[in-house]
Amino acid sequence: MITLGNNMELSGFSELDHASLIVVKKIVGNYARKINDNKGEFQKLSLDLVSDDPNKLQIIGKLDINGNSYGSIAEDINLFFALDKALNQLQQEIK
C-alpha cells in the first residue's frame, strides 16, 4: 500500500514501474486538490487497482468527505484512463 499525505491510500499500485507511479500520483494529487478546493477537506481517499484480466484494469475508489462515503468503479485497458474515470466519478458524486 502506498500512502500519499495523511488521507490518501493507493492499494495495488506498488507493482507499477517508477514512471507510471509518478503519473498516477500526479493524477490523484490533481483530483484531490480539486475536491479540496470545491468541497472542503476530505477525510480519506482510497483507490484499489485490481487486474484479474490482463486486458482490463479495474480501479475501485472510495471517498469519505463531510461525513458521507462515495464509491466508484472504473474499468479500462489503459491504467491512466481507468484512474481518471474512477476519480471523475467520485468528483461527480459529491457535486
Mean pLDDT, contiguous 10-residue spans, the chain (95 residues): 92 92 96 89 94 86 94 96 96 88
Residue 58 pairs in a beta bridge with 50, 75
Q: What's the rounded Cα separation, in Å, for the pair 95 and 81?
A: 21
Supply φ then ψ for residue 62, to 5 degrees. Answer: -140, 130
Q: What is the pLDDT of residue 53?
A: 77
Enter the C-alpha cell of residue 7. 488521507
CATH number of the domain located at residue range(s) 2-93 in this protein: 3.30.160.100
Ordered DSSP codes for 4-69: ETTTEEEES-TTS-HHHHHHHHHHHHHHHHHHHHHH---SEEEEEEEEEETTEEEEEEEEEETTEE
